[in-house]
Amino acid sequence: MQNNLLMQRYSQPHQSLSRWVAHYWGWQIPAGRGLPDLFPGTGGEVLFNLGAPLMFSAFPLSTDGEQTTYRFMVPTGEAVLLRPRKARLKISATGEIDILSIRLRSATSFPLFGFALDELSDMPIPLADLGLFFPAVELLGLPYETRTSLLEQWLLALCMRCHTTDSAMIWAIDRLYYGEDLWFIRQQLGMNERTMQRRIRQFTGVDARYFCRTARFQRALRQLLTESPIYCNTNNDDYFDQSHFIKTCRLYTGLTPSRLLTAQFRELNYYLPARLCPLIARGAIADPKARYQGGG
């Protein structure tokens, strides 16, 4: 990697993995440049650190200004699962950064990996601690295309022993992610409220209301990143008014939208660039019992 060159790569998964994986991404960043914070989300990342050791600091969300920080070091050649729900992750490195990551969809981890997300913490979790093994050191020095090809082989092998094929719940969480009404989805599935909440916590790590709130913020932030750099109004159906969005933005990011949406953050963030986002038709899957095909 050239000393002054920032490299960002993105690619789509094989069709057979598209129900589990949103996309792959890789960053190579020169020493001395900071990484953006990773905000609470709805999906997850399987992140491979192929550069200098990374220090993760977790800041739990707080409305009273009090915060406790937790730290975790990811050495070179190690892989971790990231799935922050109620904490913001700050990431720093002492040298050149070389990251490769698998962006997991919202309902991926429980059926594919076999562990319930409500049993996990917001800190990075080594793959070995989850019973998952991939020789990450073998990715060192390889080009991006070769790296992602090896990851796909590993993921395809995992799919062969998929722990559950609950297409109905995968469909439900996908629809919640895109703003569908919870009551409507529950009626479609024929579940009582208690069972629905338990299943959503297993698949996402949080209750339905919090999941929907987080998804709503992520949709609005993604929209703002594709619009004018000058923040004026949150012209988004998900929020009643600008003050509502500002309050939510401060909860999840610690910043107001105007302070968050800097030129640097627009250049480097964890959202798929607008030019690469596939067009997804809302409501394309009408039957929750049908085979699940898409989602975010």
Domain boundary among 160, 181, 212: 160
Of the pLDDT bands very low, low, confident and very high (cuts 50, 70, 90), residue 2 is very low
Same domain, 201 and 152: no
Same domain, 123 and 220: no
Same domain, 152 and 193: no
- Chain segment 114-123, per-residue pLDDT in tens: 888 999 999 9
Domain boundary among 128, 160, 192: 160
Q: Which residue's structure tokens are 């998929």?
A: 162
Same domain, 85 and 143: yes
CA dist 235 → 127, 229, 244, 257 (Å): 40, 14, 12, 13
Q: How many CB atoms lie within 10 A of CB 60?
A: 15
Same domain, 197 and 101: no
> Which residue from 6, 11, 45, 49 is spatially nearest to 28, judged by alpha carbons?
6
Q: Within a domain: residue 55?
A: yes
Q: Which long-range contacts (CB under 8 A, 24 or more apart) does 142-147 make?
A: 144/9, 144/11, 144/26, 144/100, 145/11, 147/26, 147/48, 147/100
Amino acid at 110: F
Q: What is the CATH number of the domain that holds 189?
A: 1.10.10.60
Q: Within a domain: residue 289?
A: no
Residues in the chain: 296
Same domain, 248 and 222: yes
Q: How many domains is the chain partitioned into structurally?
A: 2
Same domain, 113 and 220: no
Q: Lowest mean pLDDT of 12-21, 159-168, 210-219, name the range.
A: 159-168
Same domain, 16 and 149: yes
Same domain, 56 and 96: yes
Range of the domain at 141: 7-160
Q: Which of the pair, 56 or 161, is modelled with greater confidence?
A: 56
Q: Within a domain: residue 282?
A: no
Question: How many C-alpha atoms does 80 have within 13 Å on its Cβ side?
Answer: 22
* pLDDT reported for residue 276: 57
Same domain, 28 and 123: yes
How much is the mean pLDDT over the chain? Answer: 85
Q: Within a domain: residue 65?
A: yes
Same domain, 172 and 155: no
Q: What is the CATH number of the domain that holds 57?
A: 2.60.120.10
Q: Within a domain: residue 220?
A: yes
> Which residue from 153, 194, 177, 143 is spatially nearest to 282, judged by alpha carbons?
177
Is residue 236 predicted with pLDDT exceeding 70? Answer: no
Q: Within a domain: residue 225?
A: yes
The structure's pTM equals 0.87
Same domain, 28 and 171: no
- Chain segment 145-196, per-residue pLDDT in tens: 999 999 999 999 988 877 566 889 999 999 999 999 999 999 999 999 999 9
Q: Within a domain: residue 287?
A: no
Q: Within a domain: residue 19?
A: yes
Of the pLDDT bands very low, low, confident and very high (cuts 50, 70, 90), residue 33 is confident
